[in-house]
Amino acid sequence: SSWWGAVEPAAKDPILGVTEAFLADPSPHKVNVGVGAYRDDNGKPVVLDCVREAERRIAGSQNMEYLPMGGSVKMIHETLKLAYGENSEFLKDKRIAAIQALSGTGACRVFADFQRRFLPDSQIYIPVPTWANHHNIWRDAHVPQRTFHYYHPESRGLDFAALMDDVKNAPNGSFFLLHACAHNPTGVDPTEEQWREISYQFKVKRHFAFFDMAYQGFASGDPERDAKAIRIFLEDGHLIGCAQSYAKNMGLYGQRVGCLSILCEDELQAVAVKSQLQQIARPMYSNPPVHGALIVSTILGDPELKNLWLKEVKGMADRIIGMRTALRENLEKLGSPLPWEHITNQIGMFCYSGLTPEQVDRLTNEYHIYMTRNGRISMAGVTTGNVGYLANAIHEITK
């Protein structure tokens, strides 16, 4: 008998499967609003000018040595400033244990393994819905999962009351996964006031907040504003954890550059925690890749390039916000009697449209429009050229 005879094909990834089907469709009208990667108004992938300039500056100057086990010190320092604040006392006091991670996914995974190793009886509370990979990550780290209410289907907004109930009813000292901004897949974020209430209740319950910040800058166009939830928790004295990614906000998807950080009681604890994070990374991938980290530290370490980056992030966010307005206006102009305010109320890369799986199937089969069956529209795939077609198709299948 063969070694691998018992191996069945794995279930298809729901998001990557959409792209495959899109690529196989010969229709000239086809639209891909499935994938969570930014596109320009011609539907093309974008490399930011600040990244191109950083690459020019780097070219030929770099050897190919290993980074330290924890990654690029300079990149980490700049990255922590984005999350914790330019003048963060925690940075000055060296209270943040941080390692360069294989983008946001890798940061989440190392954290989950760390949680499992040092608090083996803990669980993680995950919002409903969430980025599907969160479930896989904590499953593979053998951390039991619970869920908490987040999205309210009727209002297509936040189910704040149910969320707060779940926070209150969880055992004291529970771990919660929170999307720092631009929640995927719903595009629904708590307001600043709601974050304050959540933070307060976390304090009462002594919960731990782990922030997944995959879209800093993508929500409002301003990375500083998008860090507000984290800053509120910091002000309230929480010792948080945080996963950061440059996939979306610097367009460095394939470079796999990000950061995992854990705020500690003091410097001594931070040194210990960091050493253990590195210990977890060592047998997994040894040390992180060098090129993306160098791009990031070159950009953020140079005031001129950093300004260019800030302008370009804002440009991406603004294009998406513009497409939200256009999609909603087109639907209203077509006379759709349904409420579409949520298209413009939601924030970040995605619109959780409220379309049913059957309606999504009709969009795909009759109009060659591709998206995940949960009705999530990637606004980054909407352009001046296809927004009218998309609105018309949505109108037709929701009549």
Q: How many CA atoms lie within 13 A of 303 on its CB side?
A: 1
Catalytic pick among 212, 228, 309, 340? 212
Whether residue 212 lies in the annotated active site: yes
Per the structure block, which two tokens stand in for 244?
A: 């950061």
- CB of 45 vs ligand PLP, minimal distance in Å: 14
- CB of 214 vs ligand PLP, minimal distance in Å: 4
C-beta of 80 vs 214, nearer to ligand PLP: 214
Evaluated on CA atoms 343, 346, 349, 354, the torsion sign reads: negative
C-beta of 46 vs 334, nearer to ligand PLP: 46
Q: Judge contact between 162 and 197, C-beta under 8 A.
A: no
User: Among the candidate windows 1-9, 44-52, 245-253, 332-340, which touches ligand PLP by CB under 6 A?
Assistant: 245-253
Q: Give the list of residues 6+ apart from residue 357 with CB closer than 8 angstroms, or none.
A: 373, 374, 375
Query: Residues 216, 303, 270, CA angle at the centre, nearest 5°?
Result: 55
C-beta of 184 vs 364, nearer to ligand PLP: 184
- CB of 241 vs ligand PLP, minimal distance in Å: 14
Nearest Cα neighbor of 237 from 91, 335, 77, 90 is 90
Whether residue 138 lies in the annotated active site: no
Q: How many CA atoms lie within 13 A of 74 on its CB side?
A: 13
Q: Rounded to whole angstroms, how far apart are CA atoms 282 and 287?
A: 7
Q: Are strands 241-245 and 258-263 parallel, antiparallel or unpaired?
A: antiparallel
Q: Rounded to whole angstroms, how far apart are CA atoms 369 and 359?
A: 11
Whether residue 131 lies in the annotated active site: yes
Question: 205-224 mask for ligand PLP (x: CB under 6 A)?
Answer: -------x-x----------
> Within positions 84 to 113, which residues make up the interface with ligand PLP, using CB under 6 A?
103-105
Among 258, 288, 292, 348, binds ligand PLP (CB under 6 A): 258
- CB of 335 vs ligand PLP, minimal distance in Å: 34
C-beta of 183 vs 342, nearer to ligand PLP: 183
Among 163, 240, 247, 259, binds ligand PLP (CB under 6 A): 247
> Which amino acid is residue 389, in one-letter code?
Y
Question: 40-79 mask for ligand PLP (x: CB under 6 A)?
Answer: ----------------------------------------
Per the structure block, which two tokens stand in for 143?
A: 């951390």
Residue 179 interacting with ligand PLP (CB under 6 A): yes
Q: Give the list of residues 6+ apart from residue 84 with CB closer than 8 angstroms, or none.
A: 90, 91, 96, 230, 234, 261, 263
C-beta of 210 vs 367, nearer to ligand PLP: 210
Q: How many residues bind ligand PLP (CB under 6 A)?
A: 13
Report the b/e string of 327-351 with b at 16+ CB within 10 A. bbebbbeeebeeebebbeebbbbbb
Among 79, 100, 174, 184, binds ligand PLP (CB under 6 A): 184
C-beta of 249 vs 398, nearer to ligand PLP: 249
C-beta of 17 vs 388, nearer to ligand PLP: 17
Where along the sequence are the contacts to ligand PLP (CB under 6 A)? Answer: 36, 103-105, 131, 179, 184, 212, 214, 245, 247, 253, 258
Residues with catalytic function: 131, 212, 248
